[in-house]
Amino acid sequence: MNNTRNPVGWFELYVQDLNRARAFYEATFQVELKPLPSPIIQMLAFPGTPEGHGCPGALVKLEGKASGGGGTIVYFSCDDCAIEADRARNHGGEIFKPKFSIGDYGFIALVVDTEGNMFGLHSLK
């Protein structure tokens, strides 16, 4: 494996209602999701290319968040994670943990989407 390339190449957030989830994520992040053709599943892709920046990750223990099934949290980068957290709440999501400091690494917030998936928001301010 090439040591300069991030090993995380793709993530999928599974949903029950594709239209509801699309509206939620497009409104929260103010982006347009694009359909990806597939003969067996329906997919909407976030903006980005394989050549773009990778998605770093970590092992985390968090009170109230179980490991095992559903034990992975995807973090979206933001200018100010409180703004996207508020947008998420305003579009049917729930703030699990509001913006808080992680020291020298900035700030995070944890949100639950309209499908019951928890995701993280990360910002430097």
Cβ proximity of 25 and 91 under 8 Å = no
pLDDT in tens, 4-40: 655 566 787 888 888 999 999 999 999 898 888 877 7
Residues whose CB is less than 8 angstroms from the CB of residue 88 and which lie 6 or more positions away in sequence, other chains included: 24, 28, 94, 95, 111, 113
Whole-model pTM: value is: 0.77
What domains lie within the chain, and their CATH numbers? Answer: 18-48+68-123 (3.10.180.10)
The backbone torsions φ and ψ at residue 120, rounded to the nearest 5 degrees and listed phi first, read -110, 155
Which residues of the chain register pLDDT less than 70? 1-9, 49-60, 62, 65-69
State the pLDDT at residue 69: 63
Residue bearing tokens 């690494």: 105
State the pLDDT at residue 109: 96
